[in-house]
Amino acid sequence: MLRRALLTFAFVAAALVAAPVIAQTAGDNPMSTPSSTGKVPVGGAEIHYEIHGDGPPLVLLHGGVNPSDTFGAPLAAMGKSHKVIAIHLRGHGFSTDSDEPWSIEAMADDVAAVLGQLGIGKARFMGYSLGAAVSLQVAIRHPELVEKLVAVSIAFRADGNYPEIRQAFEQMPGMAAAIGQQISGSPLAQLYPDVDWETMFRKTGEMFQADYDWTEGVEAIKVPTQLVFADADSIRPEHMVEFWKLLGGGQRDAGLDGSLRPASQLAIIPNTTHYSLIQSPLLTEVATAFLTQ
């Protein structure tokens, strides 16, 4: 019988599969049609990308399991002011996979390879959850590629997540077959028919079991960065503040005219969770304002 933590995750996975995908494929919130698509071979995998809109380049990176969450309404909003390069992370969406284990660092290198193929030397970045982790690692490993960064709902250290979230990842590899079978009959599986769902959940669980700590890398980020969290996130509020301070925030009063405020920003979106945040219109509003200012 599933423990409570994994049952919670399985419920969340089912929720991710149902409402957003059904809405988008039914036409209520359709995913936009890309102006071009392609695949870049990297490390035994082929990384799929799509280009939408026009303007300054913005790399948009989705959360785990379901790219359509990010590549629906958020992409459409960002495409009004940016040339959006929407990248499907390896083993997700329309990208293929290799036999190698997953790591955030390797996924960041995949993104850098796609930008190299497209001849994009610098871009703005916005990532949600898994995509936010990858965006952070791009800024750490390939700082020359990043102009601005919006990191949505991610911890820079493993203990920034609530214990039940870490427990769910620890148990996920053992339950990968059961969860994958559940999702294989869903609308999400119809949208991305070539994904190996069992492998996805096994590799995701294995990847996030690592006791990671990116403190030094985050402190070295020099580009303006906006951190965005839900007010009922899977990340502890104390960790959000600690993250903000690593980027130069929370050090002193900004002054009457605001001239002493840091270049980076912190936003907490009310009445949202880690799982609903990506669909909040307020998220795209605050992110767009930051990216275009």
Are the C-beta atoms of residues 264 and 249 closer than 8 Å to each other? yes
Report pTM. 0.91
Backbone angles phi, psi at 285, to 5 degrees: -65, -50
For residue 10, the model assigns a pLDDT of 46
Position of tokens 């059904």? 22
Q: Per-10-residue mean pLDDT for the chain, 293 residues long? A: 41 41 40 84 96 96 95 94 97 97 97 97 97 98 98 97 93 94 91 96 93 96 97 98 96 93 96 96 97 93
Domains of the chain in sequence order: 4-249+261-292 (3.40.50.1820)
- Where does residue 37 fall: left (phi above 0), alpha (psi -120 to 50 degrees), or beta otherwise? beta
For residue 30, the model assigns a pLDDT of 53
Residues with Cβ within 8 Å of residue 241, at least 6 apart in sequence: 250
Secondary structure in 3-state letters for the chain: CCCHHHHHHHHHHHHHHHHHHHHHHHCCCCCCCCCEEEEEEECCEEEEEEEECCCCEEEEECCCCCHHHHCCHHHHHHCCCCEEEEECCCCCCCCCCCCCCCCHHHHHHHHHHHHHHHCCCCEEEEEECHHHHHHHHHHHHCHHHEEEEEEECCCCEHHHECHHHHHHHHHHHHHHHHHHHHHHCCHHHHHCCCCCHHHHHHHHHHHCCCCCECHHHHHCCCCCEEEEEEEECCECHHHHHHHHHHCCCCCCCCCCCCCCCCCCEEEEEEEEECCCHHHCHHHHHHHHHHHHC
Among the listed residues 99, 110, 69, the one whose alpha carbon sits nearest the alpha carbon of residue 274: 69
For residue 31, the model assigns a pLDDT of 63
For residue 25, the model assigns a pLDDT of 35
For residue 34, the model assigns a pLDDT of 77
